[in-house]
Chains A and B, each alone.
Chain A
Amino acid sequence: MSDLSIDPMLPVTSETSVLKRPRLVLVTTCFASAAVGMFFVSLVAYYARARADALATGEAWLDASIIRLQPPNVALGTLVLSLVFVYWLVSSVRKGDRPNAYVALVVSLVLGGAAVNVVAFMLADTGLSVGGSLVGMLVYAISGSFIALLLAAMLFVVVVGIRLLGADDPRKITEVATAAGVFWLVTTLVYSVIWYALYITK
């Protein structure tokens, strides 16, 4: 032990004492994604079960004519397209290509915002009210939760942008960018399940 004293308030940063922990953000994001996936699977399962029960007893369920297919298809297409840009962002960060990363980040956020807009539009377009019927309540609960998820995914990409601004080498934030990409992928997968359960099967 040397007689060198250091500020006890500062974290010790010598290589011998601090271990590099790879994939911490990625692993944590995967667990959070599992929770998100299970949350939406549960909501959609409630919807599917309530729909099956209603149809089995001959009760009216969702009037197919009030849901137009174009908006949900556009929302899904937008999210799939945004996925391409998010992975462009991840790839650019991995290569240390800052200009491309900024372009991909901005386009991803614009597409994410567009998807939020479409999902919100669909709620209004159906004319369902949250307290008017069981199906309305379920559609609002699922769509509202999805909008919250999409906003969280966009926030994650914004965090990547902030880290990118502060990083001397973009490659240092590869793990965070990859984690954001995984979360965006999960968000898109969740929407694809909602798209099929709510808008295709109705």
Chain B
Amino acid sequence: MTATASPPSTEPTEGAVSPPERPSVTPVEEALGSTDHKTIGRLYIAAAIGFGMLGMVAGVVSSLERVSLDGYDVFDQDVALQVFSLHRLSLLYLLVIPITIGLATVVVPLQVGAQTIVFPRLCSLGFWTWLIGGVTLVLSYVVDGGPGGAEPQARELWVAAMGMVVVGLLIGVVVLAATVLAARAPGMGLLDAPFFSLSVLVASVIWIVSLAALLASVVLGFVITTYGPSILGLSVLGAEETWILMSWFAEKPQILSLLIVGLGVGTDVIASISGAAPRARGVMFGAIAAFGLLTFGAWSQTALYPELADDALAIIGAFAVGIPFLIVLGGWFDVLRRGTPGGRGPVLAIVTFVVLALGALVAGELGVIEQLDLFGTSAISAAYGFSVAGALAAAIAALTWWASKIWGRTLNPALVQGAALLVLLGGLLVGLPELIGGFLDQPDPGSAGDLSDTRVLVSDGLESSVELLNGIALAGWALLGFGLLAVTVALAQASTGNDREAVDDDPWGEGQTLEWSLPSPPGPDDFDEVPTVTSPTPLLATEESA
């Protein structure tokens, strides 16, 4: 080593050039100007949770309108669409995807032995583009923009903000994919990378192509909003049309892409708490990659072209996507069987992820069975609810597991367990009523239709049942909101608590991969010396050889 921790001398000696003093940097300055991947990742997580709380509140308010099918009791039709779209966009583009990117931005460089993330300034640019876009998106609603908005310029602002959000996310995932692919430690082959990093690579590649396709939808939407005419032949132009053009991202199979990273989180956590390394890494990675590939959904824009819902590719894909998921679960059971699983760590959050992901897969499969006639019903939203809640559970698991590397402190176990439980209950209460409502012919709330039609469309005599189901879904969104709130409190305790104690490099005592060899939190340069890796689970291998 050529560097020491000793500070530069303040008394110049003869013949020596005294180094410049490091300017004092306030936390705010550090946050605004940092290119440290850990700082950027933390900012992503904090901002995503803030937006997520807004989205959960909008979800509750939006559901309130659906509790009674007697038309619009709380808002008028346009405002109801504004609140609903704010809810969906906030959870999808401002909570789930960015919190995943934030987690990966912190953890992936540590896992793969990179000294920093690839192109840190580009990473920072992606974050700020996304954040400014997200804030502008919310503000556009405040000035009566968005789908259903009455102010033309605010509607244009909404589409432009959506474009900024998508571009910011695109930059974030490009940087992550390049980090996993090109910045691994010496000796670490692609299949030797930890599964979280591999799942981030898969998710990044899928999101690169699908967010690019989404950007095309937004660009078209912007031109329509600004100039017209309609591509869909709608009487309403602009933001509503953009909303419909973008809707494929919130439907199956694309919505299932939110679950890709959860497979990687679960694999790493379960292997670590079991003390056994996953076998057949190639098969496991192949299964995660196949799952990711099958969730690509830019081709399936059923809101524009409903006949695609009955396409053979859609039907085969809906069932095939479950196979790689089950293969990964099989790998988890194999690890659990060979190891000595402990009860520590975010086990409940992983279980929550599995239950909700299975719910999303089942909802997607039921949706393509022609005889059930669920297309266009609220069963479409069931897959969305399950997927968002499942991805949130995976994020809670990851935040809990890697908290010491992100915040330098472990999270309050009671709070994160409570959060996982609330997300489990909330996810089930959101997803199941929407799925059952689909069987009762309740229209999909995402289709921007007139709520007044709902009573006409639902099966005869079952209106009160649908109202009850919608009330349960409202409770589900409220529980999910409380789950997110519990996470927020746990993170606030971890990042601002005065009783900070030093945390071990590996507070779980079970880590297998490189990040657990670093201090908690890691220093500015992560690895002073980049290690040469000879095993996919270097820490476990070192322990076994010792």
Contact = CB atoms under 8 A, between A and B. Distances in A.
Given A5-B7, A7-B19, A31 B177 contact: yes
Nearest to B532: A19
A39 to B, nearest CB: 4
B496 interface: no
Given A28-B118, A141-B220, A35 B227 contact: no
Given A12-B2, A21-B182, A46-B220, A39 B8 contact: no
Interface in B191-219: 204-205, 208-213, 215-217, 219
B70 interface: no
Nearest to B167: A35
A32 interface: yes
Interface in A6-24: 6-9, 12, 14, 16-19, 21-24
A3 interface: yes
Contacts of B231: 46, 50, 134, 137-138
Contacts of A34: 205, 208-209, 212
Contacts of A27: 178, 181-182
B280 interface: no
A201 interface: no
Interface string B216-250: 11011001100111110000000000000000000
Contact of B212 (A38, A131, A141): A38
B305 A49 contact: yes
Contacts, number: 141
B9 interface: yes
B2 A14 contact: yes
Interface residues of B, number: 53
Contacts of A42: 212-213, 216-217, 298
Contacts of B115: 18-19
A22 B9 CA distance: 37
A35 B182 contact: no
A78 to B, nearest CB: 25
B243 to A, nearest CB: 16
A155 to B, nearest CB: 15
B8 A7 contact: yes
A147 interface: no
Contacts of B114: 21
Contacts of B6: 3, 5
Nearest to B527: A17
Interface in A119-141: 130-134, 137-138, 140-141
B175 interface: yes
A140 B492 CA distance: 49
Contacts of A8: 3, 7-8, 22
Given A28-B119, A28-B178, A145 B219 contact: yes
Contacts of B304: 49
A56 interface: no
A36 B2 CA distance: 43
A4 interface: yes
A-side interface size class: 35 or more
B182 A24 contact: yes
From DSSP, what is the main secondary structure of chain B's interface residues? Answer: loop
Given A35-B170, A141-B223, A17 B177 contact: no
A17 B1 CA distance: 8
Contacts of B525: 12
Interface string A75-101: 000000000000000000000000000
Contact of B2 (A17, A37, A46): A17
A35 B3 contact: no
Contacts of A35: 170, 174, 208-209, 211-212
A134 B233 CA distance: 10
A172 B37 CA distance: 27
Contacts of A39: 212-213, 215-216, 219
A9 B20 contact: yes
A22 to B, nearest CB: 8
B186 interface: yes
Contacts of B228: 131, 137
Given A17-B2, A27-B178, A145-B219, A137 B209 contact: no
Contacts of A3: 4, 6
B178 A1 contact: no
A127 to B, nearest CB: 16
Given A5-B9, A46-B216, A38 B19 contact: no
A43 interface: yes
Chain B CB within 10 A, most for which of A3, A6, A42, A145: A42
Contacts of B305: 49
B483 to A, nearest CB: 33
A70 interface: no
Contacts of A65: none
Nearest to A19: B530
Contacts of B183: 21, 24
A24 B119 CA distance: 9
Interface string A138-163: 10110001000000000000000000
18 contacts: A1-B1, A5-B3, A5-B9, A9-B19, A16-B2, A17-B529, A17-B530, A27-B181, A28-B175, A35-B174, A35-B212, A42-B213, A46-B231, A130-B223, A131-B229, A137-B224, A137-B231, A140-B223
7 closest Cβ contacts across the A-B interface? A42-B216, A131-B227, A38-B212, A7-B19, A35-B212, A42-B213, A28-B178
Interface of A: 1-9, 12, 14, 16-19, 21-24, 27-28, 31-32, 34-43, 46, 49-50, 130-134, 137-138, 140-141, 145
Given A137-B224, A141-B223, 7 more contacts: A6-B2, A17-B528, A38-B213, A38-B216, A39-B213, A43-B216, A140-B223
